[in-house]
Amino acid sequence: MSGDIPVPPPVLWAQRKEDILLTFSVETKDPSIKIEKDSVYFKGINVSDKKVHEVTIPLYDAVVPENSGFENKGRCVEMVLRKEKKDAPYWPSLTKDKKKPHYLKIDFNKWKDEDDENEDGGGNAHDIEEMLRSMGGGAGDKGDKPSFDDLESDSDDENLPDLE
């Protein structure tokens, strides 16, 4: 199927005071990922339908590629982008574009508002540091890498009542 045109994968995004969290919702074996100061590139082939997913996301503001990272979780690829400006206000959107891309949705499970973070002293900052360390973006590589298992993944699907 060489005539296939790559399509963007569904992307969920959330932000914290210092980080942007992205989830590329595609099951892919060896994704090609580039984290640049002002954009993120993702390309992967869906394991089940062999569709090629590719997207370059122009970011609203600068990130620090050296302090950012990603992990292939099997069903999706999770990424943490460290914002360059520590005390910058929250980004009004992920991209500079006024128009929201069709493939992009807010990840409400991971989202923290500025107000939420100020109340509880930063929320999951420790979890994100652990996550970056496990991706190789943080300090010291001791082999006992933490996993994403303690982060809420699809826990919202578990306690749903049966449909009648």
Q: Are 116 and 82 in contact (CB under 8 A)?
A: no
Other CB atoms within a 10 A radius of the CB of residue 107 amount to 16
* Between 131 and 94, the higher pLDDT residue: 94
Query: For residue 105, is it within any domain?
Result: yes
What is the tally of structural domains in the chain?
1
Mean of pLDDT over the chain: 81
Q: How does pLDDT run across 45-91, given as a tens digit for each residue?
A: 999 999 999 999 999 999 999 999 999 999 999 999 999 998 778 99
Counting residues of the chain whose pLDDT is more than 70, the rounded percentage is: 68
Q: Would you say the pTM of this structure is higher than 0.85?
A: no
Phi, psi of 19, rounded to the nearest 5 degrees = -135, 155
Other CB atoms within a 10 A radius of the CB of residue 93 amount to 16
* Between 60 and 148, the higher pLDDT residue: 60
Query: For residue 119, is it within any domain?
Result: yes
> What CATH number did the domain enclosing 128 receive?
2.60.40.790
Query: For residue 53, is it within any domain?
Result: yes
Domain that holds residue 59: 11-139
Tell the burial category of 87 from Cβ atoms under 10 Å away from its Cβ (0-12, 13-18, 19+): exposed
* Between 123 and 95, the higher pLDDT residue: 95
